[in-house]
Structure 1
Amino acid sequence: MLQLEIPTVTVAEAIAAVTQRMRLQPHSSRILARTADMEAAEKLYITAGYNGELHALGRELPATGNDSEYLVYAYDGGLVAGKQGRVIYDRIMEGTPHERCPLCGRGIATTLDHQLPKSEYPLLAIIPANLVPACSACNQRKSSKAPVDASDMLLHPYFDELGAHRWLRARIHEESPARAEYFIEPADTWSITFTDRVVKHFNFFGLGRQYAVAAAGKLATARIRHAGLLERAGSDELRLHLAEAAEGHWLVSGNTWEGALYAALAESDWYVNGGMNEI
């Protein structure tokens, strides 16, 4: 759940790239014939994205008629498989920092996900604003899901502003082995609908479990180092170390499972007073 800058590449550039050396006919000519419609769709999409109304976009888009298969081919055969199209594909992929998947914040982004599925919205198949770098697991889980209303929309990394609020939190369960439980702490500025969307996104991708599993591994490997610091410098120094680690993750990447874990450890009197020896 990371925010990304909207791609600077336009659909006009994407169309030019995918059709440049496309010899297959009538695919190339049918794609080019829909240039004006795709450019209009791009403007509508970006406006709807910023207004949180992508769920209602279908009513505004030009009809695709008998061109659906050619518009989808523009992505599959042009943007993915075409030499010039792949240049555009890779430019969009470069938009995610450290190659991290923005949908889960953990996986490595290896593919582009259609935020609104191309099977239902073929006119959006190669619109860059609809293409989000993602890991294969998130891409497969999301599949061809399309939102039916505002509360059904998953988060869009290009448009949804989560703000400078630490909304991803964790609490440490003081047991053996210790475990971290992740949850969402909504910002006061979030609307009820937006809060529901954040929670829906969190649950849809199973992020609570994903983060808890990752945290269990981190706890298992870090506890010896933390126990040593506790013995050498005391609980106050250990707490400071954990808080600084949490702050470092926050400053570099914002809300991450690692930062939330370290913040929770710093807040746990049980952990900083030797709880790591019970893990």
Structure 2
Amino acid sequence: METAEKLYLAAGRDGDLHAVGAKLPDAGDDSEYLIFAYDGGLVASRAGRDIYDQILSGAPYERCPLCGRGIASTLDHQLPKSEYPILAVTPANLVPACGTCNQKKSNMAPTSASEMLLHPYFDRLGATQWLQARIHEESPARAEYFVVPGDDWNAEFRDRVTRHFTFFSLSRHYALAAAGKIATDRIQHAGLLRRAGAHQLRLHLEEAAEGYWTVSGNTWEGALCKALAESDWYVSGGMNEI
């Protein structure tokens, strides 16, 4: 298990987790016991649950790092324990996740680099604001989310980010969340427009976007505020048409 962990950590740093299976020691007849060490030990026992909760608490602001929206309430095996039992209780293979993402991911085992979803412990998206949105100026207004690759991303990493974004249907999930935020914020924005004018409303939205970026990086809320700030239609009174 210690050897497997070292191989996993090295593969994670190198972006080769999809190929680590061929290098791992064979668990043999111990496979079922290793899986039970997670199900019966880490999850079900009191002492094990303390460790489980420590790993779970690593999710920034309790948000699921796979979707950035749900509440992290469970641990997901980045490489499934059914396929890689020797990694069943390896901490680096246990990622906080919301129930929806955990269920969606299920026992998916990548066979190539392009199939590997993002690993929040190893994959660094850099300082690029890669998550962006555009406002469809209609009633009701809606936001469309998309990925803008960073200048420092290679082709393989770009494909992985895009696959992750598509696999978890993040464009749809973010758009649904944005629809609710647009509807609830429009009264406040209309009032600011009326009192202070379009320039101050745009500035308010830009500062809100910067706040989200500074605290949490790429978030659907930050991308929405940025897109609203860039919409001349919205800051000129489009919210009154919603």
Q: Does 1:211 align with 2:183?
A: no
Using the TM superposition, give the Cα deviation of residue 82 of structure 1 relative to its aligned residue in structure 2, in angstroms.
1.1
Describe the superposition over 1:152-190 as per-residue Cα deviations: whole angstroms up to 9, x where unpaired. Answer: 100000000100110000000001110000000000100
Describe the superposition over 1:40-96 as per-residue Cα deviations: whole angstroms up to 9, x where unpaired. Answer: 111000000010000001100001111110010000000000111111111101111
Separation (CA, whole Å) in 2 of partners of 1:268 and 1:55? 41
Which of these residues, 161, 179, 187, is aligned with residue 224 of structure 1? Answer: 187
Which of these residues, 59, 62, 78, is aligned with residue 41 of structure 2? Answer: 78
Q: Does 1:255 align with 2:227?
A: no
Aligned-partner SS, 1:106: coil
- TM-score for both structures, normalised by structure 1: 0.86
Larger Rg: 1
Q: Percent same amino acid at aligned positions? A: 72
Alignment correspondent of 1:17: none
Which of these residues, 216, 236, 242, is aligned with residue 273 of structure 1? Answer: 236
Aligned-partner SS, 1:157: coil
Q: Does 1:159 align with 2:122?
A: yes
Aligned-partner SS, 1:133: strand
Which of these residues, 72, 92, 104, is aligned with residue 141 of structure 1? Answer: 104
Q: Does 1:187 align with 2:150?
A: yes
Q: Which runs of 5+ in 1 are unaligned?
A: 1-37
Task: Give the residue type in structure 1 aligned to 2:222.
Answer: G
Aligned-partner SS, 1:172: strand
Which structure 2 residues correspond to residues 33-112 of structure 1 after superposition, within 5 A?
38-112=1-75
Moved more, 126-135 or 61-70: 61-70
Cα RMSD (Å): 0.5
Q: Which stretches of structure 1, 4 residues or longer, exceed 6 Å deviation after superposition? A: none
Aligned-partner SS, 2:194: helix
Alignment correspondent of 1:7: none
Moved more, 79-88 or 100-109: 79-88
Aligned-partner SS, 1:169: strand
Aligned-partner SS, 1:50: helix
Separation (CA, whole Å) in 2 of partners of 1:65 and 1:246? 52
Task: Give the residue type in structure 2 aligned to 1:244.
Answer: E
Separation (CA, whole Å) in 1 of partners of 2:215 and 2:75? 24
Alignment correspondent of 1:30: none
Aligned-partner SS, 1:105: coil
How many residues are treated as equivalent by the alignment?
242
Task: Give the residue type in structure 2 aligned to 1:100.
Answer: R
Moved more, 86-95 or 165-174: 86-95
Task: Give the residue type in structure 2 aligned to 1:165.
Answer: T
Describe the superposition over 1:13-58 as per-residue Cα deviations: whole angstroms up to 9, x where unpaired. Answer: xxxxxxxxxxxxxxxxxxxxxxxxx001110000000100000011
Comparing both chains, which one has the higher relative contact order based on Cα–Cα distances under 8 Å and sequence gaps of 6 or more?
Answer: 1
Task: Give the residue type in structure 2 aligned to 1:77.
Answer: G
Describe the superposition over 1:135-155 as per-residue Cα deviations: whole angstroms up to 9, x where unpaired. Answer: 000000000001110011000
